[in-house]
Structure 1
Amino acid sequence: MGRTGNSWPLLVALVTLARLSEQGNLIVTMNSRTVKAIVNEDVLLECRVSGYTKEIDLKDVGIQWLFQALGAPDSQKREMYQFTGGKHTPYRKGATIFDDELKKGIASLFLPSVQFDEEGDFTCVVFITPDNGIGKSSMTVSALPMVKLSSPAITIENGTEKSVKCVSSGFYPVSIEMNWRQKTKDGEKIILKHICTESPVKNDDGTYSVSSRLRLRPTLQDNGNTYICYVNHRSLSGALQLTTQLTVKEPEVVIPAGIITICVFVSTLMCTALVGIGFLVYLKYLKKVPPKVSDIGKPPRIVHLQEALLNCQITGYRPENITVRWSLQRRQDERQRMIFEWTYTPGSMQDPVPEEHQKFILTPESQFDKPDESFKFEVPTVQHNNDSSSSVNCKVMFWPDIYKDDGAILQVQVEHSTLGKPIIKTDMLKVEGSEPRMTEIVIPSCIIHEEVLAVTCPINGFKPRPLAITWYKQKDNITKEIVKLHPERAEFVEGSETEQPKYVHRITELEYEDKTHSVASVLHFVPTIEEDHEAVYICEVKHPATGSVTSKEVNLDMKAIPKCDDIKLSPDIPIVDEQAYASCRIHSFFPKDLIVIWRKGEIVLEEMNADSEAVFGKDGLCYFTSHLKFIPFREDFGKILTCEFRHASIRECGKTACSLTPLVSPPLVKYIRCEPEFPEAGKVATIECYAYGFFPKDTMFMWFKNDERTDDPGITSTDPQLDEKTGFFCCKSQWKLLIEPNHDQMEFKVEVLHFPTSHRPSRASFNMKLGGH
């Protein structure tokens, strides 16, 4: 192109012809009619994929636009544009596919300033893994003719003659229709005689010009007639017509003296000349002339089931009566059979061609007039030349079948009154197939360990069926055959005789209007790092009809998605303000590159690269345990400790988390105080202590008086209460005692004992001052 399995039932060589298979293939919609473009204008060739409502990930999309010039063989198709792996590669200057449209399933191709050599067939190949679809449309590129008439009015003296010229220029393609018509008070009719139309001339810019001249020798009755030049061309929506008005006048006659003598002399000369001219006219216009018959014209290549135009030109014969017969002898036929006969006599072109003048080949089994569907004959049109001779071009459209028509003998036989025996032209038909064209094998952008993979090989534009498709796997310099699909044998899948096959092979197929085929060979399997990383998969295609052997290969770059265990804490319940440890085991990933980030809430605690510490297991996968040292604070109660990891196999971070709930926290003493502040001897006072911020709730208050512990019955404590805002407990302890004089300046102390943190008791004290001292 422009860059230029195991004991499963075996598939048939190629699946029955179908549109897209029912296994999720794409429906591609393109321009329903031929796109008619004018040279140097911009064109948008439509290509839409149906059934996608959500935005498509462009990493899973492959697009290929192919172009085949009009009349070119399939082997000359070239690539116009390619989109794969998110990368645009245009092979035609200015060609564009828009990403925003592509995300909606629209792969339309924008071509600026189209040229004549871009006329032909366009193929849009779409892959959205694992599905595929193909669409086809055609485009013509034309140039509009500029038509001029030599004069809008013409005056001719009665008995004389003049000509009027009609010129068409700047048109493309070369095929153009020009004719003259005469419009009188009785109506309008086509003029067939006295017309000289030149052969088209090619201009420097690739367009063509042609002129046609009408010779007029009118009488006075023709005065006021209108002559119309009609021009019809593919680029026009309707025929162009330019008119000229004819005026015929009598000449002024002045006979000078002595003219009679001169006239006698001239008359004598003219009589002599007329005799000579009459003889020349006989030779040029009346004498019978045998036809000249060309060889049978045909395309350079006749391709299986592709329309081909055959023709035979018969020129320069006189008189007009002629008979043409076409005969065919296929390899299996014992004799030639007539497939078409045409006889022309003067006047038959104005009347419908009688059925008895046309005969078609009958199939051997049929007793009815059923024509051979491989041929479609065009009833010839006789052209009259200036020398009164005639010419005819016999055309036949032919849809060859390589199995029937290759090596067939085609014969044209021409009979004319000037011939003693018919002129015969013979040609042997050589029918060829179209070689398959392979594009790059399509795989996902990221291939994951132990996830189902579809490896798709697109094979396009071949005919006739069938193909032989073989898949190979190459690893560690060992190549083995894993799938083989042969047109005359059952399918082979590796391991199918002894074990469940690793590979499943499926075929989807399209057939186009021109009977070419496209196939997508899809290999489904579950790859593993150990077996398939850096393995090369090769798809080889053999086409028996053309003998071609082509192949494509793809290298698998595998990845394995990391898995992680729950975070482990040591101790299981961390203690506030004391060092704690966290660990997270991340395993079964590939390649080794792994970034680990520890977070406490939104705060990053540590970031590390696992590359140097990760180890490979027996399964070829990587294993790594990440460790974290941290000190929790009371404010961390309820926060989330997260272990995040980034890896090439995943688009977003993977993570696992645990809540720092609960946290072991020793109590804090908010206050110790006496009520009243200055008690008096002989009266009762209350010493109160408030403790908070501890977890769990198991606490005990121990009171001391001058460092001696007391279990005074006046000591009471409230049950711990949970503070919903902080998640910690709080409680109070009171000591009601009768104040004695010796209590003055005595130290009263409380120790809050928290069992989980008994090594860190909380203490508070005060010295009592009595009032009145």
Structure 2
Amino acid sequence: MEFSKWLGEGLKLCFECLMILLLISPLKAAIHIEKMPSPIKAQLGQNVTIPCLLTYDDNQELDLNLTTVGIRWSKITSRGSESNVYVFVNLGHEQYRPGSFIDGSQLKRGNASLTLQHLQKSDEGEYICTVISTPYLASAKAKVQLLAQPMVSLSSTQVIIEPGTENNVTCKVTQFYPEAVQIRWKKYTKGSSIGLPVDRDIYFTGPEENSDGTFNATSLLTVRPSSLEEDGDVYSCTVTHMSFSHDETLVFILTVKEPSTYRILNVGGITSIILLVIIIALLCVIFWGFQGKKQADNKIHKGDIAHSQRRNIIEKGDSSGSDTGSDKYKRENKINQLADMFNTF
């Protein structure tokens, strides 16, 4: 621990000595740093490399003598002062921000780019790359802007509701950075491609900060359809955040159904009609079955009477031996008539 502290103080002293030599030198800078892109957008929790590329004024290829080169990366604090991030001097490396480094193998060619690993919220800000190659000096700035792309979700993609009632749909936006976010609702009438902004019955909460420095926000929409005509309408939740290349939109469909009492009446009416038809059909079957049985009984009864009469005539003829030919003919004729009547049953 003592050695590390001593080394850090020594490197800082060496760098300051180089700065003093540069200030008293009458020579002008013969090197410069290529223009840095700014801002440099990086994802929270990921790595970023801030470029710092040296060139000669006459565009000659660099081949630096590293024993005479000093590099200082610093960050401007909220108070406007500078704090060391990384220092290279007298062939020694000093890391002030854990997870930061310069690729030593690229220094001779003038690449003094700084890599920051596992970016945290505190890493956001403006960085300064200062390079001394005795007796020359070059310096440039770049701003690092941290982003965390939010996750957007809806509590439901379809809302089934009756006219005159209400339901809530939540649009959640989580794990985003920076804090600024916009959530908008629109309503699309069924069959229409034009959405109308919804600015009523909306409750917004947040943004609320998470332990990792990201934020969450929620927008709650209350839907209250007044009639069945709103069935099939579409609602959208659109989120605007600087981490998006374009806005993200999620939608849900409104399904408006008939009131429960109306459906019960309809079902009851249809059921009653079906039961009535069944009862009438059963009564018809019973009635026609009774009529058929009655007719069959009548036929059997009449047949029994005709058969009995025939038998009486035959017995009467047999008991009378004095029948004339004419009487016998009449009796046989009557018997035949009864037989014909019997055969019809």
Give the match for residue 228 of structure 2: 220
CA distance in 2, matches of 1:234, 1:54: 39
Q: CA deviation at 1:252?
A: 3.1
Which of 55, 67, 70 lines up with 1:62 in the alignment? Answer: 70
Which of 48, 69, 93 lines up with 2:53 in the alignment? Answer: 48
CA distance in 1, matches of 2:138, 2:151: 43
Residue correspondences, number: 236
TM-score normalised by the chain length of structure 1: 0.29
Give the match for residue 120 of structure 1: 125
CA contact (8 A) 1:116 1:142 kept: no
CA distance in 2, matches of 1:200, 1:225: 29
Structure 2 residue 252 is matched with structure 1 residue 244? yes
State how 1:200-599 maps to structure 2 within 5 Å: 200-218=207-225, 219-253=227-261
Which of 91, 99, 122 lines up with 2:96 in the alignment? Answer: 91
Q: CA deviation at 1:68?
A: 2.2
Match of 1:158, SS state, is coil
Match of 1:62, SS state, is strand
Give the match for residue 173 of structure 2: 168
Which of 32, 35, 38 lines up with 1:33 in the alignment? Answer: 38
Which of 182, 189, 195 lines up with 1:188 in the alignment? Answer: 195
Q: CA deviation at 1:251?
A: 0.7
Which of 147, 150, 155 lines up with 1:145 in the alignment? Answer: 150
CA distance in 2, matches of 1:47, 1:232: 33
Q: CA deviation at 1:105?
A: 0.8
**Distance of aligned partners of 1:30 and 1:113 in 2 relative to their CA distance in 1, 3 Å threshold:** farther
CA contact (8 A) 1:148 1:168 kept: yes
Which runs of no fewer than 5 residues in structure 2 stay unpaired?
1-7, 13-25, 265-345
Q: CA deviation at 1:90?
A: 1.1
CA contact (8 A) 2:44 2:118 kept: yes
Give the match for residue 177 of structure 1: 182
- The CA deviation string for residues 446-469 of structure 1, in whole angstroms up to 9 with x for no partner, is xxxxxxxxxxxxxxxxxxxxxxxx
CA distance in 2, matches of 1:27, 1:255: 81
CA contact (8 A) 2:160 2:255 kept: yes
CA distance in 1, matches of 2:160, 2:152: 22
CA contact (8 A) 1:46 1:107 kept: yes
Match of 2:74, SS state, is strand
CA distance in 2, matches of 1:143, 1:83: 31
**Distance of aligned partners of 1:255 and 1:248 in 2 relative to their CA distance in 1, 3 Å threshold:** closer
CA distance in 2, matches of 1:121, 1:159: 56
Letter paired with 1:135: A
Letter paired with 2:207: P
Match of 2:253, SS state, is strand
Q: CA deviation at 1:109?
A: 0.5
Letter paired with 1:120: G
TM-score normalised by the chain length of structure 2: 0.64
**Distance of aligned partners of 1:22 and 1:230 in 2 relative to their CA distance in 1, 3 Å threshold:** farther
CA distance in 2, matches of 1:87, 1:224: 70
CA contact (8 A) 2:29 2:138 kept: no
CA distance in 2, matches of 1:254, 1:178: 38
CA distance in 2, matches of 1:103, 1:255: 84
Q: CA deviation at 1:130?
A: 0.9
**Distance of aligned partners of 1:119 and 1:54 in 2 relative to their CA distance in 1, 3 Å threshold:** closer
CA contact (8 A) 1:29 1:48 kept: yes
Give the match for residue 105 of structure 1: 110
Structure number with bigger Rg: 2
- The CA deviation string for residues 251-279 of structure 1, in whole angstroms up to 9 with x for no partner, is 133699xxxxxxxxxxxxxxxxxxxxxxx
**Distance of aligned partners of 1:239 and 1:154 in 2 relative to their CA distance in 1, 3 Å threshold:** same
Identify the structure with the greater helix proportion: 2
Which structure is higher in RCO with an 8 Å CA cutoff and minimum separation 6? 2
Letter paired with 2:67: K
- The CA deviation string for residues 544-573 of structure 1, in whole angstroms up to 9 with x for no partner, is xxxxxxxxxxxxxxxxxxxxxxxxxxxxxx
Q: Which consecutive aligned stretches of 4+ in structure 1 deviate over 6 angstroms post-superposition? A: none
Q: CA deviation at 1:156?
A: 1.4
**Distance of aligned partners of 1:237 and 1:255 in 2 relative to their CA distance in 1, 3 Å threshold:** closer
Give the match for residue 80 of structure 2: 74
**Distance of aligned partners of 1:231 and 1:57 in 2 relative to their CA distance in 1, 3 Å threshold:** same
- The CA deviation string for residues 14-54 of structure 1, in whole angstroms up to 9 with x for no partner, is xxxxxxx9933432124323111112211111001112514
Letter paired with 2:105: D
CA contact (8 A) 1:81 1:95 kept: yes
Q: CA deviation at 1:196?
A: 0.7
CA contact (8 A) 1:30 1:45 kept: no
Q: CA deviation at 1:139?
A: 0.7
Q: CA deviation at 1:159?
A: 1.5
CA contact (8 A) 1:164 1:214 kept: yes
Give the match for residue 335 of structure 1: none
Identity %: 33
Which runs of no fewer than 5 residues in structure 1 stay unpaired?
5-20, 257-773
Give the match for residue 130 of structure 1: 135
CA distance in 2, matches of 1:30, 1:45: 11
CA distance in 1, matches of 2:133, 2:212: 42
Match of 2:93, SS state, is strand
